[in-house]
Amino acid sequence: MPSPKGKLKAKYSDDEGTRDGPSWTEAEEEEERAGLLDQHRKRTPKPASLIAPSIEAESWTERIRRLGTQTYSGKSRTIPFNPPGAFFFNLYFLAVAVSQFVPALRIGLLMTYVAPLAFVLVITIGKEAHDDYLRRQRDSIANSTRYQILDWSSSNHSANPLSNSHHASTVSQIQGETIPSTTLLPIKTIPSAQIRVGDILLLDKNMRVPADLVLLRTSDQASGSCFIRTDQLDGETDWKLKLALEFTQNLADGDAGLLALDGLSSIDDDHRLASNVNNGQGKKNDHTTRLEVYADKPIMDIHTFNGTLLIHSRQSVGAGVGGGGRSAEEEPAENRHPNLGDDLDPVRDSIDDIEINSIHEILPHHSASSPTSTETSKVPITSENVLWANTVLAAGQAVGLVIYTGTETRAVMNTSYPKTKTSLLDIEINQLAKILCIVTFTLSVALVALNGFRGPWWIYVVRFLILFSSIIPISLRVNLDMGKTVYAHQIENDPEIPGTIVRTSTLPEELGRIEYLLSDKTGTLTQNEMELKKLHMGTMAYGLDSMDEVALQLATAFGENAPDPLGHPAGSGLPTASLLATRGRRDMSSRVKDVILGLGLCHNVTPVINDDGSVTYQASSPDEVAIVAYTESVGLKVRSAGDLPVHVGVEADGDHHPGEADGEVTFYQKGADAVMAKIVQSNDWLEEECDNMSREGLRTLVMAKKKLSNEAYHRFTRRYLSARVDMGADDRQEAIQRVVSEELENNLELLGVTGVEDKLQEDVKSTLELLRNAGLKIWMLTGDKIETATCIAISSKLVSRGQYIHQVSKLEGPEKVQKELEFLQQKQDCCLVIDGGSLASCLSYFESEFIEVTTKLPVVVACRCSPTQKAEIAMLIRRYTQKRVCCIGDGGNDVSMIQAADVGVGIVGKEGKQASLAADFSINQFSFLTKLLLWHGRNSYKRSAKLAQFVIHRGLIISVIQAVFSSVLYFAPVAIYQGWLMMVPFPPLCTYFSPAYGYATCYTMAPVFSLVLDQDVNEDVALLYPELYKELTKGGVIMILSLILFENEFLNIVSISFTSLILTELLMA
């Protein structure tokens, strides 16, 4: 009888059904899940983008497997460059150059018109090619980074040769009746570009995660946790806690050889891992476990992952070869894995509408000759069990199973390519070029008409068009691009605004045209450095000056001999309760204990022990760190994260943590007052105290609890676990939220309210005043409530002294919206404060009218705004006003707003770099905006405008001289400047040919570059009189009339004209 074989397999589905590698047992093994897969095939469309091949299907999946995890960020795969917009911009000059190949149209030397075009294209393409080369170099480095994987495809296995399939390799191949005690699993090192779905990767500290992985095992044996840095994925600088699957983390030492981490830091290509495959000497293993990982189709959301780990436990019934066995039903409960306990009973065998990307199986050997009994359990795989690509393992070591690679990873799917932004100056110049083109054609036809339409007059028209082509100078775009480079260099090297980065070098001139500034509040106007200032519990309030009293109350409540509510040993070193004398103080101490304990539990803060023994806190929000720091200061210190039996995380509503003590379960919840007010018991002080704290500029959070009986807790646990593995639900998170709302989030006991202060950034008041004097209309868009936002607006001087503040909240219906708009039309000097719901109503009923009215107001404060609303406001202002809009923010929720603006400015803040990386300009603090706009923006715009006028004037004068010369020669289309004079593109060639050669470029090179460095006023004057910025917003610097009337450029025209006449006389002599 042939020996049965256990295999690591990859299973996938396509339109033709489900394919898999060689069977790991007999036919009945496939029948075991036939119903599941058949049901899946009937209901779910099968994606064709599934990777993970097996032997039988290797050719079918070869194309997909070649994708791997290779990174490519270049702009073209076929040529090393792809200059954007070059064809459209140079179409006119290309037509002129091509015309010179026609003998009847040729004027002078062919190179006279070909060389300038070639020069411009070489400069443009060369720049793009250089940038693309640098991108390819970075890609090459990323793709060649080497990683260690378990080598399932090794064919020279020392003890038991493995299969030659990369994803269908055997864990053990039993030859004859001799059963070796271990199976050696080799490890090999490969470049990241060769990583495929189904590979098991070994990661060490500070290694970049090359693909999306399911976390199987970590070096933290107790908790199975590890920390990752996600700043390159979501921009957040805090560390994220990830947990390995409990089943694979808790494998016995013998079975865990597959995923062993021992010696990981010093593994080389020859290192091999050992895995036990038997339960005793001379006996075959009579218990087998097959694991299947189900993953849904790739999506963009990095906070959501729906997957399931199927655990098929097979136990031999009766005696088999080498020993007897018991069925799964006969196995003692204490010997079963904790994941297979009674809590999972209600959710066994229920899987619906899943999208199978890959199913990976680890199958130890079992005896095929013995009757068997199989038990299947399901364990949910959530986002906390997954490591996304481009994150970095911050601490510890980890082993993971690759589930998505290449374009299916969350990192690639979330890589957005924002719309290319074009400055208003470029748009105006393009419009002007169209007018000049019409002028050129009109002038050409007029000269031919004056001579009469005789002979091949159409050829004469074309020749005149070529002669007057200098009216639209080909060097204009090159000169402007060189100027932009100089402006970007000046901005980045300004010592007064250190750390400023120009990420979009085509927009410096836009900084001088801003009329609307849309700003975030937290982290932008404020420092995002939080400190808990007040703790209110209805009848008692504590501030920073009464921390000793809180510590005393907390010490009294716990008592020296009181049991720890989390089940830790008594005696935490806190003071005893000997100072209490009355029952009333004991009651107050109990209330303080509940609040502080809830604050100490309801958070996502992770304490990290540094090399020097100090402890730092990592969290997704500074609010959380401030609260934990407060609890530590009064005597309750966070020891570690993840010690609670169940952690229910529903971020939209706050933090949930149950703590079990004295035979019952206490559920603690912390959240925003707007949410908590709906689920706490009736009270008469919550709304009032939240409003009072908001008026003081404090951010409020509400603390509540609920006691659950053991029966209620177990009922919730069963429903919660069932919802977590319910892959049939359209939204697993929605199913979980429904369970939490029905079982926990109702009739909570209100404990207290915290007030956290966020300090203003440095020089915010003076910055806002200068910008307002410069003519900018400022909007503050925030997610905070009206009271807090109003307080910050007043304290930051965003609202002027004595200015009327008009608040609009809970506005519904078109009649009320129309009434408010009519009031605002009569009150144009007030500050509007509006909440998110009212804003949505206004935009829904009277979109254009609302924007028309509010854009005339000096200040608008929008509260409770979602990221989508922020971006929508920016786009609507641009659409209806046709004015330049600048958006500034520091968090991930500001990215959409920043990308929707004409100019996006990101601040490197406490919440990460996501806004900074997505912005056109990155600064370190809000006050840098003053110099960025009033000095660098103003100079960049005025310089580029003068530069454009100078170059266009130069072409006009040359064309006028040509027209006069042709008129003298009876309107003959003959060039006045012969040979190389108009061709030489850069100064070195000027000295080679002749000082007179290349006049249009060489002689006027110095004036062009002098304009790039021109300053009409010094920096101190520009910042002292911000009103100078207003003239630029009128857009009159580059208007067509300024070219026709010459008012400010008369001196340039005179100098060019007389110099041209002198040179003409010299050449004609």
Reported as a single tens digit per residue, the pLDDT across 267-290 is 333 333 333 333 333 344 456 777
Residue 202 lies in a domain: yes
Mean pLDDT value across residues 60-71: 44
**Of how many residues is the chain composed?**
1069
Task: List 274's β-bridge partners, or say none.
Answer: 184
Residue 174 lies in a domain: yes
User: Which residue, 782, 802, 807, 778, is CA-closest to 792?
Assistant: 782
Residue that is last in its domain, among 877, 896, 926:
926
Q: How confident is the model at residue 886 (pLDDT cuts 50, 70, 90)?
A: very high
Strands 398-404 and 654-661: unpaired
Query: Would the pTM of this model clear 0.95, i.e. be above it?
Result: no
784 and 721 fall within a common domain: no
CA–CA gap between residue 266 and residue 64 (Å, rounded): 33
CA–CA gap between residue 448 and residue 457 (Å, rounded): 7
719 and 826 fall within a common domain: no
Mean pLDDT value across residues 441-462: 88
The confidence score (pLDDT) of residue 1031 equals: 80
Residue that is last in its domain, among 906, 926, 946:
926
pLDDT value at 1051 more than 80: no
Strands 398-404 and 831-835: unpaired
Reported as a single tens digit per residue, the pLDDT across 354-377 is 233 333 333 333 333 445 567 888
645 and 702 fall within a common domain: yes
Reported as a single tens digit per residue, the pLDDT across 708-728 is 988 899 899 888 888 877 655
pLDDT value at 768 more than 90: yes
- Return the exposure string of 719-731: e unless at least 16 CB atoms fall within 10 Å of the residue's CB, then b: bbbbbbbbbebee
Is residue 22 within 8 A of residue 6, CB to CB? The reply is no
CATH number at residue 870: 3.40.50.1000
The SS3 assignment for 149 reads: strand
Is residue 20 within 8 A of residue 60, CB to CB? The reply is no
Q: DSSP assignment, residue 208?
A: B
CA–CA gap between residue 184 and residue 187 (Å, rounded): 10
653 and 722 fall within a common domain: yes
Residue that is last in its domain, among 870, 903, 926:
926
Residue 196 lies in a domain: yes
490 and 507 fall within a common domain: no
Total tally of structural domains belonging to the chain: 4
The SS3 assignment for 590 reads: helix
Reported as a single tens digit per residue, the pLDDT across 643-690 is 444 444 433 344 555 555 456 888 999 988 888 988 999 888 998 888
Q: Which two tokens stand for residue 826?
A: 């009569």
The confidence score (pLDDT) of residue 1045 equals: 53
Reported as a single tens digit per residue, the pLDDT across 508-556 is 999 999 999 999 988 889 887 788 989 998 888 888 888 888 888 888 8
Residue 675 lies in a domain: yes
Mean pLDDT value across residues 32-46: 37
CA–CA gap between residue 655 and residue 651 (Å, rounded): 6
The confidence score (pLDDT) of residue 139 equals: 73
Residue 1041 lies in a domain: yes
Q: How confident is the model at residue 1050 (pLDDT cuts 50, 70, 90)?
A: low
Q: Which two tokens stand for residue 519?
A: 């700003």
464 and 513 fall within a common domain: no
Residue 466 lies in a domain: yes
243 and 348 fall within a common domain: yes
Residue 101 lies in a domain: no
968 and 1062 fall within a common domain: yes
Q: How confident is the model at residue 1043 (pLDDT cuts 50, 70, 90)?
A: low
Reported as a single tens digit per residue, the pLDDT across 923-978 is 999 999 999 999 999 999 989 888 888 888 878 888 888 888 888 888 888 887 76
pLDDT value at 315 more than 60: yes
Strands 777-781 and 805-808: unpaired
Least confident of 238-242, 680-684, 1019-1023: 238-242
Residue 96 lies in a domain: no
The confidence score (pLDDT) of residue 658 equals: 54
Q: Considering only the C-alpha atoms of the chain, give the largest distance between any 2 of them, rounded to a whole number of Å.
A: 119
554 and 654 fall within a common domain: yes
282 and 355 fall within a common domain: yes
Q: Active site includes 296? A: no
849 and 749 fall within a common domain: no
Most confident of 157-161, 216-220, 353-357, 993-997: 216-220
The confidence score (pLDDT) of residue 702 equals: 93
CATH number at residue 748: 3.40.1110
Sign of torsion over alpha carbons 328, 330, 336, 341: positive
Q: How confident is the model at residue 316 (pLDDT cuts 50, 70, 90)?
A: low
853 and 951 fall within a common domain: no
**DSSP states of 548-588:** HHHHHHHHHHH-SSPPPTTSPPS--S---STT--SHHHHHH
- Nearest 5 degrees, angle CA 822-CA 828-CA 832? 80
Q: How confident is the model at residue 912 (pLDDT cuts 50, 70, 90)?
A: low
User: How distant, in Å, are the alpha carbons of 933, 1036, 1040 from that of 513?
Assistant: 9, 11, 18
Higher pLDDT, 322 or 1021: 1021
Cα 751–chain centre separation: 36
The SS3 assignment for 609 reads: strand
Of 132, 234, 520, 758, which one is the catalytic site residue?
520
Range of the domain at 745: 543-756
